Amino acid sequence: RFALKNKTIVITGGARGLGLSFASALAEAGANIAAIDLDDSPPDELGKLQAIGVKAKYYTANVRDYDGLRNTIEEIAREFGSIDGCIPAAGIMRDKPFLEHTAKDINDVLGVNIVGVMYTVQHCAAQMVKQKTGGNIVCISSAAGHHGCAPMTCAAYVASKHAVLGLVKQVAGELAEHGIRCNSISPGIMRTDMLTKMFEATPGREELLTSGCMLKRVGEPDELHGAMLYLMSDASSYMTGNDILVNGGKL
Ligand code: NAD
């Protein structure tokens, strides 16, 4: 029930971090991977996935560009033959007090983390409906979408991640009749560029952030693989409009 052989999965933010880590796990389960990101050149890891017998291709696109993203997703559907899964994992964060958020900060964070997610989900779902094959969407919210992110200061990020949970609930209801499920994963503090750059810049930050977590440590990206394989496969066939919180236990 966890098998993903011959399924094509679109992953935004696929050049690094959680998106790239999901790509490896899903490819090991047999899925073909279409990774989308801003960078011009693909990560080496994506090329290595071909060696395990799946198709893996990289596409440069900005999730904030509605028409450009639709063209890319239509190109993926043509090149792979179908789109069966969608993971809108592209995301950004601005860690500064709410009163210091500029209009650009707010628009950039909401533009990628919720508007870009809506564009990605809509374009992928439109393909799935056209194919009449059903499909599976797994959005990436955050523990911040459940309980904020104090002691960090990232109001726009927290708002965007709450919005993702609302989107998932609504879209799941509307797409169920097409055999498309939509769920999310809410990771806690995971070791990717998004946070490690901040940890390096501010000594003591990592310890401060993990002090509110029962396991008292940062999570590794592969500790989300089980939740992703469950939600992306038939193993979770009776689950939609829901979220799995993987946060090391909130104190
Ligand atoms: P990351 O910074 O390592 O990777 C994010 C990727 O998104 C980058 O490759 C970046 O180029 C891409 N991206 C950003 N804006 C884009 C755009 N406009 N169009 C296309 N691609 C774009 O971050 P990550 O930690 O891997 O985060 C992935 C997702 O997981 C994000 O949605 C993030 O909010 C969420 N998340 C991360 C953590 C964590 O602790 N790392 C925790 C909870 C949720």
**Residue 231 near residue 201 (C-beta atoms within 8 A):** no
- Looking at the CA of residue 63, tell me the nearest atom of ligand 1: 19
Q: Tens of pLDDT along 194-239?
A: 888 888 888 898 999 999 999 999 999 999 999 999 999 999 999 9
The answer to whether position 125 is within a domain reads yes
How far apart, in whole angstroms, are the C-alpha atoms of residue 111 and residue 204? 31
What's the CATH code of the domain at 43?
A: 3.40.50.720
Residue identifier of the C-alpha nearest atom 31 of ligand 1? 91
9 lines ligand 1 (CB under 6 A): no
The answer to whether position 3 is within a domain reads no
The answer to whether position 215 is within a domain reads no
Could you tell me if residue 36 is left (phi over 0), alpha (psi between -120 and 50 degrees) or otherwise beta? beta
Mean pLDDT of 8-34: 98
Share of the chain above pLDDT 70, in %: 100
Rg of the Cα atoms in the chain: 17
- Name, in order, each residue with C-beta under 8 angstroms of 209's C-beta and a sequence gap of 6 or more: 151, 152, 189, 195, 218
The answer to whether position 128 is within a domain reads yes
Mean pLDDT of 10-33: 98
Q: Tens of pLDDT along 102-116?
A: 999 999 999 999 999
Mean pLDDT of 20-44: 97
| pLDDT (0 to 100) of residue 43 | 94
CA angle 140, 145, 149 (to 5 degrees): 115
Mean pLDDT of 91-109: 97
Range(s) of the domain holding residue 233: 8-189+221-245
**Residue 140 near residue 187 (C-beta atoms within 8 A):** yes
The answer to whether position 235 is within a domain reads yes
The answer to whether position 206 is within a domain reads no
The answer to whether position 195 is within a domain reads no
Here the tokens at position 251 are 């104190």
Amino acid identity at 194: M
12 lines ligand 1 (CB under 6 A): yes
| pLDDT (0 to 100) of residue 198 | 84
10 lines ligand 1 (CB under 6 A): no
The answer to whether position 117 is within a domain reads yes
Pocket test for ligand 1, best of 194, 217, 222 (most atoms within 8 A of CB): 194
Tell me the catalytic residues: 157
Residue identifier of the C-alpha nearest atom 16 of ligand 1? 90
**Residue 96 near residue 153 (C-beta atoms within 8 A):** yes
Mean pLDDT of the chain: 96
* Domain total of the chain: 1
Give distance in angstroms: CA of 177 to centre of ligand 1: 30
